[in-house]
Chain A
Amino acid sequence: MLTVFQQVDNWNTILSLLVWVLFFLYFFTDLPQKTQFYRYERGVATRLALIEGLVSESVNKVKSYLAKLGIKNVDPFVNTTLENYFVIEPVSIEPIDIIKRLDHIITINEQKFKQDLERIAPSLSVHTRNNVAVSLAIASALYTIYKILRHYYYLGKKYENWVLLMQLYLIMPQLVRELMPYSRAIDGIIRGVPIGDSAGPMVAYKLMSTAPRIDIEEDTVYSVVNIEHRNVYIVKAKGPGATVGKPGKAVAKLAEMLAYKVSRIITIDAALKLEGERTGLVAEGTGAAIGDPGPEKIEIERTAVKCGAPLDAIIIKMGSDEAIKPMKREILEGVEKAYQIVLDIIKNRTKPGDNIIIVGIGNTVGVY
């Protein structure tokens, strides 16, 4: 070897040869793309393993919770739930009665799930069953996202589609960060601690206090209180189990009961903040503050139109992770501010003797 080096006296020749080889490899072969592809593939695989860990962590939490509640044959039930509950959207190119069809499909899916849960755990209270249902829904959402990401990863690998893998590689860090709170959220739901999304029901609770809860719709209650000589009807999901109820249908029913003599409808909900905005910031606007797929929101809007009542929206801002995690003190402070705004609206924008409907939208976990 040494003799070879000694024989070569012109190092410039070797260097230029190397440069030419590199030039050829870089510009006339797929080597750079292959290297990039390998990097993207490894990056996505690492992230996917992280998400898989989150999925198993969440599923194990739900399984151990069910086992703690004394439910037998937990594994087949959880595995079936993770795979089998999906909803196919109704036909949208024919928009006539789409809301009715969507509502019907959502209700059927919910009922099917509740019936299955009731069958395997008949002894559980409704509230505990709701907590189990929401925990399972979170684990299922996490699993669905994982499955979709895995699908695109395998697709990219199978067809050596480096553009697909590159997109996954770029979006994965953001997705992982957004998915991590899901696993944490299950702890809160299982323990029955209010989450960020419970801000609306918390404001409703502050207005209702000890007033009796009257059932009006499935998992939904209302109370009547007198504030400054106004008849205030407060609607919220039935707590303290984890449920969002049917606030839209409850408002429609309530307005019908009041012969559509409603002077104002106020909705309070948690809303996503923009990056840079403070958690717990309260904003007041117009419209129905509710983030459902459509059927509940449209009921509130239609009722407001029928009554000719102004529709106030109060939102408590938070991040998407904060909405599902146990409630932070900043959000609690936002709840107090929203409560004061509601009182202010009642005092200044309505007259004594008026009927007002106030709706606390959101998951009522841990809130009576």
Chain B
Amino acid sequence: MPIIIIAMVVLIILTLILYFKLRSGFMKSFQQLDKLDEVPQRYIAIVKCYNNDYIVEKEFQEGDFVGKIVGECPKCRNKLVIEAIFAQYTYRKR
């Protein structure tokens, strides 16, 4: 009789360990969702001279777009244009 009780207790403990170790269903998915929430941290615009002699990265401003002329090149006085815009991402908990 005591052997059966001990075996049952061991079985219950093992089951509980397995449950918490390999938690399935929506609890585990919530943890994964927290990790997966990727949000843009900052937007960067790559500004380039038409003559390709000057390139600089700047913070994106409202109204910027690829192909927008944003000034004069400090080296050759040609036009500076936004060549590309991209976002830097970070992971955030919801």
Contacts and interface: CB of A to CB of B under 8 A. Distances in A.
Interface of A: 12, 39, 43, 46-47, 169, 172-173, 176-177, 180, 184, 187-188, 191-194, 202, 205, 210, 239-240, 321, 325-329, 331-332, 335, 366-368
Interface in B5-37: 25-26, 29, 32-33, 36-37
A368 B66 contact: yes
Contacts of A176: 29, 33
A173 B24 CA distance: 11
Contacts of A188: 40, 87
Contacts of A180: 33, 36-37
Nearest to B26: A43
Interface string B53-64: 000000010111
Could you tell me the dominant secondary structure of chain A's interface residues?
helix
A332 B46 CA distance: 11
B40 A187 contact: yes
A344 B60 CA distance: 32
Interface of B: 1, 25-26, 29, 32-33, 36-40, 43, 50, 60, 62-68, 81, 84-89
Contacts of B25: 39, 43, 169
Contacts of A187: 40
Contacts of B32: 173, 177
A194 B66 contact: yes
B88 A329 contact: yes
B85 A47 contact: no
B43 A326 contact: yes
A172 B67 contact: no
Given A47-B26, A329-B86, A184 B40 contact: yes
22 contacts: A47-B26, A169-B25, A169-B26, A172-B26, A173-B32, A177-B36, A180-B33, A180-B36, A184-B39, A205-B67, A239-B67, A240-B68, A325-B87, A326-B43, A326-B86, A328-B86, A328-B87, A329-B88, A332-B84, A366-B85, A367-B66, A368-B68
A205 B48 CA distance: 14
B65 A239 contact: yes
B29 A332 contact: no
A326 B87 contact: yes
A313 B70 CA distance: 33
Nearest to A332: B86
B12 to A, nearest CB: 14
Contact of A368 (B36, B43, B67): B67
Contacts of A366: 64-66, 85
Contacts of A240: 65-68
